[in-house]
Structure 1
Amino acid sequence: MDTSTVVPFAAHLPASLEREGLDASAAPSTSTEQEVARLRARVRELSAELVQAQETACRHVARELHDGVGAELTATRFALAGVETWLPADAPPQCAAALAVANRSLDAVCEASRQAVAELHAPSLEAGIVGALAHWTGDFAARTQLRTSFVCAADLRLTRLPADAALAVFRVAQEALNNIAKHARAESADVRIETSRRHLTLIIVDDGIGVTRNARTRRGHFGLSGMQARCAAFDGTLRVSARRTGAEHGHTGYGCGTPSRGTLVRARFAWDAMLAQAPRAQRHALQS
Protein backbone atom coordinates (compact mmCIF):
# COMPACT_ATOMS: atom_id res chain seq x y z
CA MET A 1 0.00 0.00 0.00
CA ASP A 2 1.39 3.36 -1.04
CA THR A 3 1.36 5.66 1.97
CA SER A 4 3.37 8.51 0.40
CA THR A 5 1.93 11.97 0.37
CA VAL A 6 1.92 14.11 -2.76
CA VAL A 7 2.71 17.68 -1.77
CA PRO A 8 2.03 20.43 -4.35
CA PHE A 9 5.26 22.24 -5.36
CA ALA A 10 3.61 25.53 -4.49
CA ALA A 11 3.61 24.48 -0.85
CA HIS A 12 7.41 24.91 -0.84
CA LEU A 13 7.33 28.45 -2.21
CA PRO A 14 8.38 31.28 0.10
CA ALA A 15 5.50 33.00 1.83
CA SER A 16 6.32 36.22 -0.02
CA LEU A 17 5.68 34.52 -3.36
CA GLU A 18 2.44 33.00 -2.09
CA ARG A 19 1.25 36.39 -0.92
CA GLU A 20 1.96 37.84 -4.36
CA GLY A 21 -0.09 35.12 -5.96
CA LEU A 22 2.84 33.61 -7.95
CA ASP A 23 2.54 29.99 -8.96
CA ALA A 24 5.31 27.38 -9.00
CA SER A 25 6.08 27.81 -12.68
CA ALA A 26 6.89 31.48 -12.17
CA ALA A 27 9.64 30.87 -9.62
CA PRO A 28 12.32 29.42 -11.96
CA SER A 29 11.56 32.09 -14.54
CA THR A 30 11.96 34.85 -11.97
CA SER A 31 15.24 33.36 -10.80
CA THR A 32 16.53 33.18 -14.37
CA GLU A 33 15.52 36.76 -15.06
CA GLN A 34 17.28 37.92 -11.93
CA GLU A 35 20.46 36.08 -12.94
CA VAL A 36 20.33 37.59 -16.43
CA ALA A 37 19.82 41.05 -14.92
CA ARG A 38 22.77 40.47 -12.58
CA LEU A 39 25.02 39.39 -15.45
CA ARG A 40 23.98 42.38 -17.56
CA ALA A 41 24.75 44.70 -14.68
CA ARG A 42 28.17 43.06 -14.36
CA VAL A 43 28.82 43.54 -18.09
CA ARG A 44 27.92 47.22 -17.74
CA GLU A 45 30.22 47.55 -14.74
CA LEU A 46 33.19 45.87 -16.44
CA SER A 47 32.64 47.83 -19.65
CA ALA A 48 32.54 51.10 -17.70
CA GLU A 49 35.79 50.15 -15.97
CA LEU A 50 37.41 49.42 -19.35
CA VAL A 51 36.21 52.75 -20.74
CA GLN A 52 37.51 54.56 -17.66
CA ALA A 53 40.91 52.89 -18.11
CA GLN A 54 40.98 53.93 -21.77
CA GLU A 55 40.19 57.54 -20.93
CA THR A 56 42.88 57.54 -18.23
CA ALA A 57 45.40 56.19 -20.76
CA CYS A 58 44.36 58.82 -23.29
CA ARG A 59 44.92 61.62 -20.79
CA HIS A 60 48.34 60.20 -19.87
CA VAL A 61 49.46 59.94 -23.50
CA ALA A 62 48.14 63.44 -24.22
CA ARG A 63 50.19 64.87 -21.34
CA GLU A 64 53.30 63.03 -22.49
CA LEU A 65 52.87 64.31 -26.05
CA HIS A 66 52.23 67.87 -24.91
CA ASP A 67 54.85 68.13 -22.18
CA GLY A 68 57.54 65.75 -23.47
CA VAL A 69 57.34 65.53 -27.25
CA GLY A 70 56.02 69.09 -27.53
CA ALA A 71 58.98 70.47 -25.60
CA GLU A 72 61.46 68.55 -27.76
CA LEU A 73 59.81 69.76 -30.96
CA THR A 74 60.00 73.35 -29.73
CA ALA A 75 63.69 72.94 -28.94
CA THR A 76 64.28 71.48 -32.41
CA ARG A 77 62.53 74.41 -34.02
CA PHE A 78 64.75 76.91 -32.18
CA ALA A 79 67.85 74.92 -33.13
CA LEU A 80 66.92 74.93 -36.82
CA ALA A 81 66.22 78.66 -36.66
CA GLY A 82 69.67 79.17 -35.17
CA VAL A 83 71.33 77.13 -37.93
CA GLU A 84 69.49 79.16 -40.55
CA THR A 85 70.66 82.41 -38.89
CA TRP A 86 74.27 81.30 -38.67
CA LEU A 87 74.41 79.89 -42.17
CA PRO A 88 77.01 81.93 -44.11
CA ALA A 89 75.92 83.79 -47.23
CA ASP A 90 78.20 81.71 -49.42
CA ALA A 91 76.95 78.36 -48.11
CA PRO A 92 76.07 75.81 -50.80
CA PRO A 93 72.39 76.01 -51.87
CA GLN A 94 71.96 72.41 -50.76
CA CYS A 95 72.26 73.60 -47.15
CA ALA A 96 69.30 75.97 -47.45
CA ALA A 97 67.31 73.29 -49.28
CA ALA A 98 68.01 70.75 -46.54
CA LEU A 99 66.96 73.24 -43.88
CA ALA A 100 63.72 73.90 -45.76
CA VAL A 101 62.98 70.16 -45.89
CA ALA A 102 63.72 69.82 -42.17
CA ASN A 103 61.39 72.73 -41.34
CA ARG A 104 58.57 71.29 -43.44
CA SER A 105 58.96 67.91 -41.76
CA LEU A 106 58.99 69.57 -38.36
CA ASP A 107 55.82 71.50 -39.22
CA ALA A 108 54.12 68.25 -40.22
CA VAL A 109 55.17 66.49 -37.00
CA CYS A 110 54.03 69.45 -34.87
CA GLU A 111 50.63 69.46 -36.56
CA ALA A 112 50.25 65.69 -36.17
CA SER A 113 51.19 65.95 -32.50
CA ARG A 114 48.75 68.82 -31.95
CA GLN A 115 45.96 66.88 -33.62
CA ALA A 116 46.73 63.76 -31.58
CA VAL A 117 46.63 65.72 -28.32
CA ALA A 118 43.33 67.31 -29.33
CA GLU A 119 41.76 63.92 -30.08
CA LEU A 120 43.09 62.23 -26.95
CA HIS A 121 41.65 64.88 -24.66
CA ALA A 122 37.97 64.55 -23.86
CA PRO A 123 35.99 67.05 -25.96
CA SER A 124 34.12 70.00 -24.56
CA LEU A 125 30.53 68.87 -24.03
CA GLU A 126 29.18 72.21 -22.86
CA ALA A 127 27.12 72.43 -26.06
CA GLY A 128 25.94 68.83 -25.62
CA ILE A 129 26.57 65.82 -27.82
CA VAL A 130 24.94 67.45 -30.85
CA GLY A 131 27.17 70.52 -30.71
CA ALA A 132 30.29 68.46 -30.03
CA LEU A 133 29.68 66.09 -32.95
CA ALA A 134 28.69 68.90 -35.31
CA HIS A 135 31.93 70.74 -34.53
CA TRP A 136 34.11 67.66 -34.77
CA THR A 137 32.65 66.37 -38.05
CA GLY A 138 33.18 69.81 -39.56
CA ASP A 139 36.80 69.79 -38.41
CA PHE A 140 37.19 66.23 -39.72
CA ALA A 141 35.90 67.26 -43.16
CA ALA A 142 38.30 70.22 -43.35
CA ARG A 143 41.25 68.10 -42.21
CA THR A 144 40.64 65.06 -44.44
CA GLN A 145 38.91 66.70 -47.42
CA LEU A 146 36.19 64.03 -47.20
CA ARG A 147 32.62 65.10 -47.84
CA THR A 148 31.12 64.70 -44.38
CA SER A 149 27.58 65.27 -43.16
CA PHE A 150 25.99 65.15 -39.72
CA VAL A 151 22.24 64.73 -39.20
CA CYS A 152 20.56 64.43 -35.82
CA ALA A 153 17.06 63.61 -34.65
CA ALA A 154 15.19 66.34 -32.80
CA ASP A 155 14.94 64.68 -29.40
CA LEU A 156 14.92 66.59 -26.13
CA ARG A 157 16.62 63.67 -24.35
CA LEU A 158 19.83 64.45 -26.26
CA THR A 159 20.14 67.67 -24.28
CA ARG A 160 19.88 65.77 -20.99
CA LEU A 161 22.63 63.22 -21.58
CA PRO A 162 25.11 63.01 -18.69
CA ALA A 163 28.70 63.74 -19.65
CA ASP A 164 29.82 60.11 -19.50
CA ALA A 165 27.04 58.99 -21.84
CA ALA A 166 27.66 61.85 -24.27
CA LEU A 167 31.37 61.04 -24.24
CA ALA A 168 30.65 57.40 -25.13
CA VAL A 169 28.63 58.43 -28.19
CA PHE A 170 31.27 60.96 -29.21
CA ARG A 171 34.18 58.51 -28.89
CA VAL A 172 32.44 55.86 -31.01
CA ALA A 173 31.76 58.40 -33.76
CA GLN A 174 35.31 59.74 -33.50
CA GLU A 175 36.86 56.27 -33.77
CA ALA A 176 34.63 55.31 -36.69
CA LEU A 177 35.48 58.48 -38.63
CA ASN A 178 39.20 58.12 -37.93
CA ASN A 179 39.02 54.55 -39.23
CA ILE A 180 37.40 55.83 -42.42
CA ALA A 181 40.20 58.36 -42.91
CA LYS A 182 42.91 55.75 -42.26
CA HIS A 183 41.57 52.63 -43.96
CA ALA A 184 38.48 53.12 -46.10
CA ARG A 185 39.83 55.05 -49.09
CA ALA A 186 36.46 56.77 -49.10
CA GLU A 187 35.29 60.02 -50.65
CA SER A 188 32.45 60.71 -48.23
CA ALA A 189 31.26 59.85 -44.73
CA ASP A 190 27.87 60.43 -43.15
CA VAL A 191 27.06 60.52 -39.45
CA ARG A 192 23.52 60.30 -38.12
CA ILE A 193 21.85 60.03 -34.72
CA GLU A 194 18.46 58.34 -34.65
CA THR A 195 16.27 57.90 -31.59
CA SER A 196 13.44 55.60 -30.60
CA ARG A 197 11.56 55.07 -27.36
CA ARG A 198 14.23 52.76 -25.97
CA HIS A 199 17.45 53.48 -27.89
CA LEU A 200 19.78 56.10 -29.26
CA THR A 201 21.40 54.78 -32.44
CA LEU A 202 24.55 56.26 -33.94
CA ILE A 203 25.04 55.40 -37.62
CA ILE A 204 28.20 56.07 -39.62
CA VAL A 205 28.44 55.10 -43.30
CA ASP A 206 31.11 55.64 -45.94
CA ASP A 207 31.59 54.87 -49.62
CA GLY A 208 35.02 53.29 -49.30
CA ILE A 209 36.37 49.83 -50.01
CA GLY A 210 34.20 48.16 -47.38
CA VAL A 211 35.07 45.80 -44.56
CA THR A 212 35.62 42.05 -44.78
CA ARG A 213 34.71 39.43 -42.17
CA ASN A 214 38.40 38.91 -41.39
CA ALA A 215 38.85 42.63 -40.79
CA ARG A 216 35.85 42.72 -38.46
CA THR A 217 37.16 39.85 -36.34
CA ARG A 218 40.88 40.63 -36.44
CA ARG A 219 42.10 41.31 -32.93
CA GLY A 220 42.50 45.01 -32.23
CA HIS A 221 41.50 46.05 -35.76
CA PHE A 222 39.52 49.28 -36.11
CA GLY A 223 39.54 49.77 -32.34
CA LEU A 224 36.38 47.66 -32.16
CA SER A 225 37.02 46.53 -28.60
CA GLY A 226 36.89 50.08 -27.29
CA MET A 227 33.81 50.92 -29.33
CA GLN A 228 32.05 47.76 -28.14
CA ALA A 229 32.92 48.52 -24.52
CA ARG A 230 31.46 52.01 -24.78
CA CYS A 231 28.21 50.59 -26.16
CA ALA A 232 28.08 47.76 -23.61
CA ALA A 233 28.55 50.22 -20.75
CA PHE A 234 25.10 51.57 -21.64
CA ASP A 235 23.31 48.28 -22.43
CA GLY A 236 24.05 48.74 -26.13
CA THR A 237 25.50 46.87 -29.07
CA LEU A 238 27.88 47.58 -31.93
CA ARG A 239 27.48 46.23 -35.45
CA VAL A 240 29.98 46.75 -38.27
CA SER A 241 29.04 45.40 -41.69
CA ALA A 242 29.46 45.90 -45.40
CA ARG A 243 27.17 48.67 -46.53
CA ARG A 244 24.18 47.66 -48.66
CA THR A 245 21.50 49.78 -50.25
CA GLY A 246 18.83 50.61 -47.70
CA ALA A 247 20.71 49.11 -44.75
CA GLU A 248 21.67 52.48 -43.33
CA HIS A 249 18.04 53.57 -43.50
CA GLY A 250 16.88 51.05 -40.96
CA HIS A 251 16.15 47.99 -43.11
CA THR A 252 17.02 44.75 -41.39
CA GLY A 253 17.67 42.61 -44.45
CA TYR A 254 21.39 43.06 -44.93
CA GLY A 255 21.36 40.42 -47.65
CA CYS A 256 18.70 42.18 -49.68
CA GLY A 257 19.04 44.92 -52.21
CA THR A 258 21.83 45.90 -54.54
CA PRO A 259 25.26 45.85 -52.88
CA SER A 260 26.94 49.22 -52.50
CA ARG A 261 30.52 50.09 -51.62
CA GLY A 262 31.44 51.09 -48.12
CA THR A 263 30.99 50.21 -44.47
CA LEU A 264 28.09 50.65 -42.08
CA VAL A 265 28.69 51.15 -38.36
CA ARG A 266 25.60 50.97 -36.16
CA ALA A 267 26.13 51.71 -32.45
CA ARG A 268 23.11 51.41 -30.19
CA PHE A 269 22.77 52.75 -26.63
CA ALA A 270 19.87 52.23 -24.21
CA TRP A 271 18.22 55.43 -23.01
CA ASP A 272 17.48 53.98 -19.55
CA ALA A 273 21.17 53.27 -18.97
CA MET A 274 22.35 56.56 -20.47
CA LEU A 275 20.01 58.78 -18.49
CA ALA A 276 20.55 56.94 -15.22
CA GLN A 277 22.53 58.81 -12.59
CA ALA A 278 26.19 57.90 -13.11
CA PRO A 279 28.35 57.13 -10.07
CA ARG A 280 30.16 60.29 -8.99
CA ALA A 281 33.62 58.70 -9.12
CA GLN A 282 33.08 57.28 -12.60
CA ARG A 283 31.74 60.55 -13.97
CA HIS A 284 34.62 62.52 -12.45
CA ALA A 285 37.16 60.11 -13.95
CA LEU A 286 35.67 60.46 -17.41
CA GLN A 287 35.47 64.24 -17.33
CA SER A 288 38.76 65.14 -15.62
Structure 2
Amino acid sequence: MAISSINDLRLQGLAACLCQCVAGVGLSVVLWFKVFKPASVLFFLAYTTWGASAFLMLLGVLGFVSKVSLILGLHCIFAVSIAGGLGGLHVSTLHTFLMQCSEAQSSSLGCNTCACAVAGTCTQELLSSEDACSACQALGTEICSDINSYSFQVMLLCMGLSICAPIAVPAVYSLRILIRLDSDMANVSNRLLYARAVIAQDLSKLQRDTQHLLVSSESRELSSWKLTSELLLTLMAYGGSDDKALFAAYCRAVKVDAFSLA
Protein backbone atom coordinates (compact mmCIF):
# COMPACT_ATOMS: atom_id res chain seq x y z
CA MET A 1 0.00 0.00 0.00
CA ALA A 2 1.41 3.38 -1.02
CA ILE A 3 2.27 5.81 1.76
CA SER A 4 0.57 9.17 1.38
CA SER A 5 2.85 12.17 1.13
CA ILE A 6 2.50 15.16 3.43
CA ASN A 7 0.90 17.19 0.63
CA ASP A 8 -1.63 14.41 0.02
CA LEU A 9 -2.46 14.32 3.73
CA ARG A 10 -2.84 18.11 3.77
CA LEU A 11 -5.32 18.00 0.88
CA GLN A 12 -7.25 15.16 2.51
CA GLY A 13 -7.30 17.08 5.80
CA LEU A 14 -8.60 20.23 4.10
CA ALA A 15 -11.30 18.15 2.40
CA ALA A 16 -12.23 16.67 5.79
CA CYS A 17 -12.50 20.19 7.26
CA LEU A 18 -14.78 21.18 4.37
CA CYS A 19 -16.93 18.11 4.99
CA GLN A 20 -17.02 19.02 8.68
CA CYS A 21 -18.34 22.48 7.78
CA VAL A 22 -20.95 21.13 5.34
CA ALA A 23 -22.08 18.42 7.75
CA GLY A 24 -22.25 20.87 10.65
CA VAL A 25 -24.29 23.43 8.72
CA GLY A 26 -26.60 20.82 7.21
CA LEU A 27 -27.20 19.10 10.52
CA SER A 28 -27.73 22.42 12.26
CA VAL A 29 -30.38 23.50 9.75
CA VAL A 30 -32.31 20.28 10.30
CA LEU A 31 -31.99 20.43 14.07
CA TRP A 32 -32.95 24.10 14.15
CA PHE A 33 -36.44 23.23 12.95
CA LYS A 34 -36.69 19.87 14.73
CA VAL A 35 -35.11 20.66 18.09
CA PHE A 36 -34.06 24.23 18.83
CA LYS A 37 -36.97 26.14 17.32
CA PRO A 38 -39.70 24.30 19.27
CA ALA A 39 -37.54 24.19 22.42
CA SER A 40 -35.94 27.63 22.60
CA VAL A 41 -34.40 26.77 25.97
CA LEU A 42 -31.89 24.64 24.03
CA PHE A 43 -30.50 27.59 22.06
CA PHE A 44 -27.34 27.57 24.19
CA LEU A 45 -26.65 24.04 22.95
CA ALA A 46 -26.91 25.17 19.34
CA TYR A 47 -24.57 28.13 19.80
CA THR A 48 -22.02 26.03 21.68
CA THR A 49 -22.04 23.35 18.99
CA TRP A 50 -21.76 25.78 16.09
CA GLY A 51 -19.05 27.85 17.75
CA ALA A 52 -16.93 24.80 18.61
CA SER A 53 -17.33 23.34 15.12
CA ALA A 54 -16.35 26.62 13.44
CA PHE A 55 -13.34 27.09 15.75
CA LEU A 56 -12.00 23.60 15.07
CA MET A 57 -12.54 23.93 11.33
CA LEU A 58 -10.54 27.18 11.22
CA LEU A 59 -7.81 25.70 13.43
CA GLY A 60 -7.59 22.63 11.20
CA VAL A 61 -7.40 24.67 7.99
CA LEU A 62 -4.69 26.88 9.51
CA GLY A 63 -2.70 23.83 10.55
CA PHE A 64 -2.98 22.08 7.18
CA VAL A 65 -2.02 25.21 5.26
CA SER A 66 0.90 26.24 7.48
CA LYS A 67 2.17 22.76 8.44
CA VAL A 68 3.17 24.20 11.83
CA SER A 69 3.56 21.34 14.31
CA LEU A 70 2.19 23.36 17.23
CA ILE A 71 -1.05 24.22 15.42
CA LEU A 72 -1.50 20.64 14.18
CA GLY A 73 -0.93 19.34 17.70
CA LEU A 74 -3.43 21.79 19.16
CA HIS A 75 -5.94 20.75 16.51
CA CYS A 76 -5.57 17.09 17.51
CA ILE A 77 -5.93 17.83 21.22
CA PHE A 78 -8.83 20.27 20.90
CA ALA A 79 -10.70 18.14 18.34
CA VAL A 80 -10.70 15.02 20.52
CA SER A 81 -11.46 16.97 23.70
CA ILE A 82 -14.21 19.13 22.24
CA ALA A 83 -15.80 16.25 20.31
CA GLY A 84 -16.07 14.22 23.50
CA GLY A 85 -17.23 17.28 25.42
CA LEU A 86 -19.98 18.09 22.94
CA GLY A 87 -21.21 14.51 22.94
CA GLY A 88 -21.30 14.52 26.73
CA LEU A 89 -22.97 17.93 26.79
CA HIS A 90 -25.85 16.74 24.62
CA VAL A 91 -26.39 13.61 26.69
CA SER A 92 -26.16 15.44 30.03
CA THR A 93 -28.47 18.22 28.80
CA LEU A 94 -31.08 15.70 27.72
CA HIS A 95 -30.84 13.90 31.05
CA THR A 96 -31.14 17.17 33.00
CA PHE A 97 -34.23 18.27 31.12
CA LEU A 98 -35.80 14.82 31.36
CA MET A 99 -35.35 14.92 35.13
CA GLN A 100 -36.78 18.45 35.32
CA CYS A 101 -39.80 17.54 33.19
CA SER A 102 -40.48 14.47 35.33
CA GLU A 103 -40.96 16.70 38.37
CA ALA A 104 -43.91 18.96 39.14
CA GLN A 105 -43.55 22.54 37.92
CA SER A 106 -44.26 23.86 41.40
CA SER A 107 -41.13 22.12 42.74
CA SER A 108 -38.85 24.27 40.56
CA LEU A 109 -37.07 27.26 42.04
CA GLY A 110 -39.18 30.43 42.26
CA CYS A 111 -42.47 28.75 41.31
CA ASN A 112 -44.19 28.71 44.71
CA THR A 113 -46.14 31.90 43.92
CA CYS A 114 -47.05 30.88 40.37
CA ALA A 115 -50.64 29.64 40.09
CA CYS A 116 -50.21 27.76 36.82
CA ALA A 117 -47.13 25.99 38.21
CA VAL A 118 -49.21 24.61 41.08
CA ALA A 119 -51.68 23.30 38.53
CA GLY A 120 -48.86 22.09 36.27
CA THR A 121 -50.17 24.01 33.25
CA CYS A 122 -47.53 26.71 32.74
CA THR A 123 -46.44 27.31 29.18
CA GLN A 124 -43.35 29.33 28.27
CA GLU A 125 -45.63 32.23 27.31
CA LEU A 126 -47.33 32.25 30.72
CA LEU A 127 -44.01 31.96 32.54
CA SER A 128 -42.68 35.03 30.73
CA SER A 129 -45.87 37.13 30.83
CA GLU A 130 -47.22 36.54 34.35
CA ASP A 131 -45.58 38.73 37.01
CA ALA A 132 -46.02 36.05 39.67
CA CYS A 133 -44.21 33.55 37.44
CA SER A 134 -41.31 35.76 36.35
CA ALA A 135 -38.90 34.06 38.77
CA CYS A 136 -40.15 30.55 38.04
CA GLN A 137 -37.46 28.35 36.48
CA ALA A 138 -39.75 25.52 35.43
CA LEU A 139 -39.92 24.38 31.83
CA GLY A 140 -43.11 25.06 29.90
CA THR A 141 -45.51 22.23 29.21
CA GLU A 142 -44.92 22.46 25.45
CA ILE A 143 -41.16 22.07 25.92
CA CYS A 144 -41.57 19.07 28.20
CA SER A 145 -44.00 17.58 25.71
CA ASP A 146 -41.30 17.79 23.04
CA ILE A 147 -38.51 16.57 25.32
CA ASN A 148 -40.53 13.60 26.56
CA SER A 149 -41.24 12.45 23.01
CA TYR A 150 -39.11 9.52 21.84
CA SER A 151 -38.28 11.12 18.49
CA PHE A 152 -36.97 14.25 20.21
CA GLN A 153 -34.70 12.26 22.52
CA VAL A 154 -33.29 10.24 19.64
CA MET A 155 -32.74 13.43 17.63
CA LEU A 156 -30.84 15.13 20.45
CA LEU A 157 -28.66 12.10 21.14
CA CYS A 158 -27.94 11.61 17.44
CA MET A 159 -26.91 15.23 17.18
CA GLY A 160 -24.15 14.63 19.71
CA LEU A 161 -22.89 11.58 17.83
CA SER A 162 -23.25 13.28 14.44
CA ILE A 163 -21.27 16.32 15.58
CA CYS A 164 -18.51 14.21 17.15
CA ALA A 165 -17.65 12.31 13.96
CA PRO A 166 -17.04 15.27 11.58
CA ILE A 167 -15.04 17.07 14.28
CA ALA A 168 -12.82 14.07 15.06
CA VAL A 169 -12.04 12.94 11.48
CA PRO A 170 -9.85 15.96 10.46
CA ALA A 171 -7.79 15.43 13.61
CA VAL A 172 -6.72 12.04 12.24
CA TYR A 173 -5.01 13.79 9.32
CA SER A 174 -3.37 16.30 11.67
CA LEU A 175 -1.95 13.41 13.67
CA ARG A 176 -0.71 11.61 10.55
CA ILE A 177 1.00 14.78 9.30
CA LEU A 178 2.67 15.24 12.69
CA ILE A 179 3.96 11.67 12.54
CA ARG A 180 5.29 12.19 9.01
CA LEU A 181 6.95 15.49 9.94
CA ASP A 182 8.62 13.86 12.93
CA SER A 183 9.78 10.94 10.77
CA ASP A 184 11.16 13.27 8.09
CA MET A 185 12.95 15.33 10.73
CA ALA A 186 14.53 12.19 12.17
CA ASN A 187 15.67 11.11 8.69
CA VAL A 188 17.22 14.51 8.01
CA SER A 189 18.96 14.44 11.37
CA ASN A 190 20.42 11.01 10.64
CA ARG A 191 21.57 12.09 7.18
CA LEU A 192 23.17 15.19 8.63
CA LEU A 193 25.04 13.22 11.30
CA TYR A 194 26.32 10.77 8.68
CA ALA A 195 27.36 13.53 6.27
CA ARG A 196 29.13 15.44 9.04
CA ALA A 197 31.11 12.37 10.13
CA VAL A 198 32.14 11.30 6.61
CA ILE A 199 33.11 14.76 5.36
CA ALA A 200 35.03 15.55 8.55
CA GLN A 201 36.93 12.26 8.25
CA ASP A 202 37.76 12.86 4.57
CA LEU A 203 38.85 16.42 5.26
CA SER A 204 41.11 15.21 8.05
CA LYS A 205 42.78 12.77 5.63
CA LEU A 206 43.21 15.50 3.03
CA GLN A 207 44.84 17.78 5.55
CA ARG A 208 47.26 15.05 6.71
CA ASP A 209 48.36 13.87 3.27
CA THR A 210 49.30 16.59 0.79
CA GLN A 211 49.08 14.11 -2.09
CA HIS A 212 45.36 14.00 -1.60
CA LEU A 213 45.18 17.68 -2.51
CA LEU A 214 45.98 16.69 -6.11
CA VAL A 215 42.86 14.56 -6.55
CA SER A 216 40.53 17.47 -7.28
CA SER A 217 39.57 16.77 -10.89
CA GLU A 218 40.27 13.03 -10.85
CA SER A 219 38.19 12.38 -7.74
CA ARG A 220 35.18 14.05 -9.30
CA GLU A 221 35.22 11.41 -12.01
CA LEU A 222 35.02 8.55 -9.53
CA SER A 223 31.68 7.03 -8.58
CA SER A 224 32.33 7.92 -4.94
CA TRP A 225 32.29 11.63 -5.80
CA LYS A 226 28.55 11.50 -6.40
CA LEU A 227 28.00 10.30 -2.83
CA THR A 228 30.46 12.88 -1.51
CA SER A 229 28.70 15.70 -3.33
CA GLU A 230 25.34 14.56 -1.94
CA LEU A 231 26.78 14.60 1.57
CA LEU A 232 28.19 18.08 1.00
CA LEU A 233 24.81 19.32 -0.21
CA THR A 234 23.19 17.79 2.88
CA LEU A 235 25.57 19.78 5.08
CA MET A 236 24.80 22.96 3.18
CA ALA A 237 21.03 22.48 3.11
CA TYR A 238 20.33 21.28 6.65
CA GLY A 239 23.44 22.03 8.71
CA GLY A 240 24.27 24.90 11.01
CA SER A 241 27.10 27.39 10.81
CA ASP A 242 29.71 24.78 11.77
CA ASP A 243 28.47 22.42 9.05
CA LYS A 244 28.59 25.18 6.44
CA ALA A 245 32.16 25.99 7.51
CA LEU A 246 33.05 22.30 7.10
CA PHE A 247 31.44 22.38 3.64
CA ALA A 248 33.52 25.39 2.60
CA ALA A 249 36.74 23.90 3.98
CA TYR A 250 36.23 20.64 2.09
CA CYS A 251 35.51 22.47 -1.17
CA ARG A 252 38.71 24.48 -0.76
CA ALA A 253 40.69 21.32 0.01
CA VAL A 254 39.64 19.54 -3.18
CA LYS A 255 39.59 22.77 -5.22
CA VAL A 256 35.91 22.52 -6.09
CA ASP A 257 33.62 25.47 -6.72
CA ALA A 258 30.81 25.24 -4.18
CA PHE A 259 28.28 26.53 -6.74
CA SER A 260 29.13 23.68 -9.12
CA LEU A 261 27.68 21.16 -6.66
CA ALA A 262 24.15 22.51 -6.94
RCO (CA 8 Å, sep 6+): is it higher in 1 or 2?
A: 2
TM-score class normalised by the smaller sequence: under 0.3
Instruction: Name the one with the larger strand percent.
Output: 1
TM-score (norm. length: structure 2): 0.28
